[in-house]
Amino acid sequence: MPIYEPDHVEYTIDSGYIHLAMEEGDNIPAFLAHPSVGGKFPGIALIHDWWGVTSAVRRMANLFAQVGYYVIVPDLFNQQVATTPQHAMQLVKSLGNRGYPRVHNALGVLEHHHRCTGDVAAVGIGMGGSLAFEAAIVRADLEAAIAYYGFPKRYFGRFKDANTPILAFYGSEEEYITPAQIEQLRNELATSSFGLSHRVEIVAGVRHGFFSDNVSEAETTRAKGVIQQTLTFLEQHLESSTRPPAQEVY
C-alpha cells in the first residue's frame, strides 16, 4: 500500500519505535508517528492485523501523521512479523486475550499525552479491526472507531451498546466474513442505544486485505477512496489540531 496524497495539509513527521508501559509492569514495543511541529493533535491507536507491524502498517501510520494525527501502533506480537498464514495464526493464538489490554493501554497513553488534544480514535485492520470494535463497545471515552475488514462475530449482541461512532469497511469480494455477518453487523449498529450514525461501507471489487502490499492496481485505487472516507469520518468526530502560528507545512 503506497502513501497516498489526500487533499489535506501535510506535515513533516517524525517516526520510530518506543515502548509502552503496561499496568502489570510489562513493556511492549510500539511504532510511533507524529507531526514534527509543535502544538496538539488528535490521537490514533492504529491496530495491526494478524501479520504484525508490517511495512504497510508503518506507511499507514505515517500517512495519518502526515495529515495531522499523533499515531501509536502497539506491537501486539512483540516485533514478530508473520511470513505465512500459518505463522500468523500461531501469533494470534500466542497472543490470546492479551490483545485488547494492549490496545486499551495505547488509547490511554494517547488520551493523556501532552501532544494530543485528548480526542482519540481506534483504527484497526483485520484482527485489529475486531479490537477496534471491542474498544468502541468497552470504552466510554472514544471519539471514533474504524474497522477495515474486522471480524464482528464475537461481538454480536453487544454492538447496540457501543457509544462510539463506528465506521466499518468490507470488500465486495470478502473471503472470510460472510455477507450474512456483515448484514447482521449493519442491523445491530442500526439499533444503537445511543442513536449514533454508525456506517458499514462495502468497497466494490476488493477482497479481504485490501491494505496489504499484495493487491492489484485497481484494488489500490479503491483503497485510496477508503482512506479519503476515513479521514472525513475522523474529521467529523475528532477535535482538530491546535497548530502554532509559525508552523511549517508542505
Model confidence at 3: pLDDT above 50: no
Confidence band for 23, pLDDT divided at 50, 70 and 90: confident
pLDDT classification of 214: cutoffs 50, 70, 90? confident
- Regarding the domain with residue range 14-237, which homologous superfamily does it belong to in the CATH classification? Alpha/Beta hydrolase fold, catalytic domain (3.40.50.1820)
Q: Which helix (H) or strand (E) holds 72?
A: strand 70-74
Residue with cell string 505465512: 84
pLDDT tens for 35-61 read 998 889 999 999 999 999 999 999 999
Strands ordered across the beta sheet of 199-203: 13-21, 27-35, 70-74, 41-47, 116-125, 144-148, 166-171, 199-203
Report the predicted TM-score, pTM, of the whole model to 2 decimal places: 0.92
- The domain ranges of the chain are 14-237
Q: Is the pLDDT of residue 105 over 90?
A: yes
- Please check whether residue 72 is in contact with residue 30, taking contact to mean a CB–CB distance below 8 angstroms: yes
CA 161, CA 55: separation in Å to the nearest integer? Answer: 35
Share of the chain above pLDDT 90, in %: 77
- Position 213 scores a pLDDT of 80
> For the chain, what is the mean pLDDT?
90
Model pLDDT, residue 185: 97
Strand, coil or helix: 154: helix
**From CA 133, how far away is CA 120, in angstroms rounded?**
14
| 100 vs 85: CA distance, rounded Å | 21
Q: Are 7 and 66 in contact (CB under 8 A)?
A: no
Q: 75 — phi, psi (to 5°)?
A: -85, 95
